[in-house]
Amino acid sequence: MNLIVKIVEPLKAFLLEVGELSYFTGNFFKEVFKPPYEFKEFLRQCYYIGNRSLVLVGVTGFIIGLVFTLQSRPTLEEFGAASWIPSMVSVSIIREIGPIITALICAGRIGSGIGAELGSMRVTEQIDAMEVSGTNPFKYLVVTRILATTFMLPILIFFGDAIAIYGSYLVESMKGDVSFVLYSNQVINILEFSDVLPATFKSFFFGFAIGLVGCFKGYNCKKGTVGVGQAANAAVVYTSMLLFIIDFVAVFVTNIFYDL
């Protein structure tokens, strides 16, 4: 009997969480098309999310490019395929490594920040005060943040990919004496729309997931200061899991189209 309870209770809690998140998502799509539109707050969140994450994404992308090239070069040199490094690195970063690593970095940086910010507002009853004053806190706080993460993450991923490829070029220029023009030509020649479009398309879903889970956890934060920490932590954990699921589905669907 105790074993059944131990299995049923977590399953019940999980299903309740999924149901609440689905209802929260439905409210977002209902409110996003209804006026008034909080355009100034949306722009402020875009600046906060994009500009303040730019350095972290850039440094991460630069290190990815350096490490990936340094690790790959010795193996490729053994097979006499060192000339394929620009093509291999660019395709790997654009298709998979760049989007998922940048999204995970942003999940920790942006998702936890949104969860803690909205959670503290819920604990200090600022959201309740907005409801009493006649303001729609869901549209002002939630819709703007989800839209900002959805539109800014693809830009951050593009920036991180470019920095990662440049970091790869620096390694090649030191190890293989490759010019920037030659390296750039190899990168451009190997990339196709079938590489760039799926990665760009799924990056919008990555951004939506980061904003949605962060807002959901923060907006429904439990009372007390402990709840703020739990909301921030849960936002990062849940978002990371959701990102891997979205990435798997995106790669699976893309491969189906490749096989057609």
Measured CA angle at 52 (ends 48, 199), to 5 deg: 90
For residue 188, the tally of other CB atoms under 10 A from its CB is: 10
Q: Is 181 exposed, middle or buried (0-12, 13-18, 19+ CB in 10 A)?
A: exposed
Which pLDDT belongs to residue 154?
A: 94
Which pLDDT belongs to residue 143?
A: 92
Which pLDDT belongs to residue 214?
A: 92
**Where exactly are the structural domains of the chain?**
39-259
Measured CA angle at 206 (ends 203, 212), to 5 deg: 140
pTM for the whole structure: 0.90
* High-pLDDT (> 70) share of the chain, %: 97
Q: pLDDT tens digits for 72-123?
A: 888 887 877 777 888 888 888 998 889 999 999 999 889 888 988 898 888 8
For residue 193, the tally of other CB atoms under 10 A from its CB is: 8
Mean residue pLDDT across the chain:
87
**Would the pLDDT of 4 be above 80?**
no
Q: pLDDT tens digits for 152-165?
A: 999 999 999 999 99
**Would the pLDDT of 1 be above 60?**
no
